[in-house]
Amino acid sequence: MSDAEEPRHEYTVLARRFRPQAFADVVGQEHVAQALRNSIIQGRVAHAFLFTGARGVGKTSSARILAKSLNCPNAVGPDPCNHCEICQGISTGGDVDVLEIDGASNRGIDDIRMLRQNVSVRSMRSKYKIYIIDEVHMLTKEAFNALLKTLEEPPPNVKFIFCTTEPNKVPDTILSRCQRFDFGTIATSSIKMRLMQIAEAEGKIVDPDALELVARRAAGSMRDSQSLFDQLLAFGEEHIRAADVHRLLGTAPDERLIGIMQAVINRQQGDLLQQFQMALEGGVQLGELTDQLLSYTRDLLIVASGAQDVPMQSIADENYPTLKQQATAWGLRNILAALQILADTKGKMRGVNYGRALAELALVRLSLLEDLNALEQVIAAIRSGQFAVGGAVQGRPIAISQGALPGPSRPAPLPSSSTGAPVEKKNDMTSEQPAQAVVPTPVPIAESTPSLQTVQSSVVESALPVVELQAGKEAEFFSQLLERIPVMLKGHLKNAVPSATSGPNQLVLGFEKRYDLARQYCERRDNLDKVREIAVKLAGRPITVSFRQENNLAVSKGGAASEIAGGTTKKAAVDEPKIKPDPFVLRAAEVFHGRVGDPTAMG
């Protein structure tokens, strides 16, 4: 090596150089740190601990700090000195009495058997032999079973500390033998403050906006923020700005996000697609932009819901007034539908090469959303009775347009006057028409919005006329009743017929013996109440409905019932005409050289 050459020292990443060395250094986990400090002070240290939480929130660091606090000979209360040989060895992972095991690599039963054999060996120079098993949920079922007895009754000088990101995969038999501590995600403000301290230690000038972007991107993980900040320090110059962060991450600035969503709310499709194109041309990655728009819509949801203390994830806090203005203008239900559309689009964009088309399609769909809050008001008015189909409000007839209600069933046109005389349709467009208040036609509703099927059925029921229930008209009343019955119940009730002469306020429905299961289904309390409720609405007066089993029951072609008892049959007074063959049936018989028989004569 020449004199001009200098030895190159290996660089240590920020996440390792600024790793917490004491309980006071652990950011955002004060509750865990306080509990562990108190247990050491009071001498109530458990034999096994389980640290759970997301990645990069301080689980392994806290496990090392706990190990140092238990074994440091110079510890002052619960705090280690961090200067002795034992503390230095534990910090670097090289202490002989503190063993760190990777649960993903040493997950078999043979590894646990070796651990059980070494547990009985006393520590060499420290008070405790401590096993730190990271990602413990990766152990096999057999390995967990082999660890149970040792974990429940370990030697007095052995401690276990388990760390995992998925506690749901740890068996309950292990969980019950450990003291569990849950590590929460770290607040964005705490991460930002820690990054500011690192920047000062590194001698770098970083704008607060840049630190805010890095902290938000970390999503509660301190290690992720430090890794990203380390990359940013290598990417940028002495003075790092927010634009440097956007270039590194491939994200769009707050102004671009606000402009895109404002074009969506204003329904300006041309301006929307133009701004989307400008964002991509400026170096913004398609996937990152989609994630930002999804987070932006989530923030709109938070603001529209009135949650003032929930932090924003997409833009800086200084843009909160603009966010609130957009949330108020768009409405909560539109935001819900937009969030669902963007979430579905994000899932469809994975693994396809036409992601841009899907993103543009989603944005245009967002711009075409109608005012769903107005539709909610219409539904509320219908439910409250303000809009009665076929009725009137404040002396004016109310009608619902053909597009106002989805589905094939819509109310019939309203009469022109109270006498019920129909309005004669004229070709002259200038002819006078009765004044009608027409409800605006709503747009299709997303799955997350309230269903209109219930509202539609209630409106249609109120529009149907009253049917008289009297002797001789049971079949007509029953057919009208079936039209209003829900589909599931109707499938069973259609096997019944009005079998007997009903009283003035009673309807008896009979089932043949082969339909006994259908009769039992209809006799259930909720089903019977539903049939009785609809029948009362149909008859316009209180009536009772009952079911019974008929031994010999036949139904004539006209729908009236006839009973067969004692070998005699009550026939209809008028012979029914024969069924006319269908033209398609006749054509089929001609093609296949067949013949059409009388279905009534078939056995």
Domain boundary among 233, 249, 265: 249
pLDDT at 390: 43
pLDDT at 432: 42
Domain boundary among 249, 264, 289: 249
Is 260 contained in some domain? yes
Domain co-membership, 330 together with 208: no
Structural domains of the chain, count: 4
Domain co-membership, 363 together with 291: yes
Q: Are strands 98-102 and 129-134 parallel, antiparallel or unpaired?
A: parallel
Domain co-membership, 195 together with 216: yes
Is 444 contained in some domain? no
Domain co-membership, 245 together with 261: no
Domain co-membership, 125 together with 229: no
Domain co-membership, 242 together with 298: no
In this prediction, the residues of the chain whose per-residue pLDDT falls under 50 are 1-4, 388-463, 501, 554-577, 600-603
Domain co-membership, 31 together with 105: yes
Is 452 contained in some domain? no
- Domain harbouring 549, CATH code: 3.30.300.180
Query: What is the H or E stretch that residue 133 is in?
Result: strand 129-134
Is 496 contained in some domain? yes
Domain co-membership, 304 together with 199: no
- Domain harbouring 150, CATH code: 3.40.50.300
Is 511 contained in some domain? yes
pLDDT at 418: 39
How far apart (Å, rounded) are the C-alpha atoms in residues 283 and 251? 8
Domain boundary among 226, 249, 272: 249
Is 116 contained in some domain? yes
Domain co-membership, 239 together with 267: no
At residue 421, the 3 state secondary structure works out as: coil
In the sheet that 158-164 helps form, which strands lie side by side, from edge to edge? 98-102, 129-134, 158-164, 48-53, 179-183
Domain co-membership, 352 together with 217: no
Is 577 contained in some domain? no
Q: Where are the alpha helices (DSSP H) in 415-509?
A: 453-463, 474-484, 487-493
* pLDDT digit string, tens, across residues 300-332: 999 999 888 888 888 888 899 999 999 999 989
* pLDDT digit string, tens, across residues 46-98: 999 999 999 999 999 999 999 999 999 888 888 899 899 999 999 888 888 89
Domain co-membership, 298 together with 206: no
pLDDT at 9: 56
pLDDT at 264: 94
pTM tops 0.75 = no
265 exposed, middle or buried (CB, 10 Å; 0-12, 13-18, 19+)? buried
- Domain harbouring 364, CATH code: 1.20.272.10
Domain co-membership, 223 together with 305: no
Domain span at residue 301 reads 254-372
pLDDT at 302: 94
Is 399 contained in some domain? no
Question: What is the distance in angstroms between the CA of the first residue and the CA of the last residue of the chain?
Answer: 110
